[in-house]
Structures are given as structure tokens and as C-alpha cells.
Amino acid sequence: MKALLLAVGLSLITVLQAQDPPASGEDTMAMSGKWYLKAMITDRETSWKKPELVTPMTLTVLEGGNLKAETTLLTNGQCKEVELILEKTSEPKKYTTYGGKRVVYIEPTEVKDHYIFYCEGEMQGEQARMAKLVGRDPESNEEALENFREFLRAKGFNQEIFSPKQSDTCPPGTDQEPEV
């Protein structure tokens, strides 16, 4: 019996050591700065309007490892400033937002400076999932896009991937309203 407990205990230690180590402060700091939206997908097309244009997202690391994300979206001729706080959880790469109604996972891809933001939870009163591929530069990267497609297949997405236009600012002549 002691041998069995020892074997199980050692197996658990091995499994725990094989898991990803918790994200360090340096890893979180590396997320700070400007990120370009390369591609996105959601499984709730009917209640969600695709943006016609997006500005780069700015991520800021806050005290305690939380992240602040800021961007502007042009939808239906109106620019909307979006700011959200991603609250760090005890699980590496996992954050919550909107008072815990949404869970956001930030997953690195195999391509340097490219990440997938995967969100699930309540969106406009419905349960939904969304994924975004972001990168440090605005250029398209086929290898990162293929990593994104593989991630989407593994998550069971079958909707079409959308790549919005990029701009550093909202076009003149559009109304701008903040959305926090």
C-alpha cells in the first residue's frame, strides 16, 4: 500500500512539474504596448456587429498583474472607444472581465510576438465565445494565422475568420463615443 501511495504521489509531482509555470511579472510586462488585431471570430454573429475598422490595442500592465486594454472600433459609422480591465486570476494566462461574466485566456502562438485572446462568457445577454489573433506589427503573418486556425479547430469554431481594417486613428467625420 505504501508503494502504491508513493507511486501515485510521484506521478502527481511529475504531472505538476510538467504543467506550464505561472506567468512571471516579466511575462506580463512583455504584454505591455501596442498590439494589432490580425484576425477575429465569434460564434454569435447575429447579435454582434463586426467592426469596419480598429485601432491598435494598447495593453498596460496594472498593479497586481491586471491588464488594461484600450482600443477604438468603427461600427455602423460610429467610433467607440473601448477600455476594459482584465483581472488576473490564480491560473496562468487566465483573466476575467465584466465583473467575472467573461473569462479571457491569453495564449502565445508558435510565432514570435503573436498571441491569441480567447474569451468566453456572457456577451449582450447571450453565452458566446470569441477569439482574436494579435501581433506586434500590422503585417499579415501566414504562420500565425495558421496557428490561429488550428486553435479555432481545437475549440470547435466553424465560422468564418474576419480581419478588420487597421488605422491608427478613427476617421474624421465619425462620431466618437466612449464605451467603458
116 neighbors 148 (Cβ within 8 angstroms): yes
d(CA 159, CA 41): 7
> What gap in Å lies between CA 129 and CA 42, rounded to an integer?
6
Strand boundaries in the chain, DSSP class E: 33-42, 53-54, 57-61, 67-75, 78-88, 94-97, 102-108, 114-123, 126-135, 165-166, 175-179
137 is in an annotated binding site: yes
146 is in an annotated binding site: yes
Annotated binding residue at 27? no
Residue 143 labeled ligand binder: yes
Binding residue positions: 113, 137, 142-143, 146
Residue ranges of the annotated binding site for Zn(2+) are 113, 137, 142-143, 146
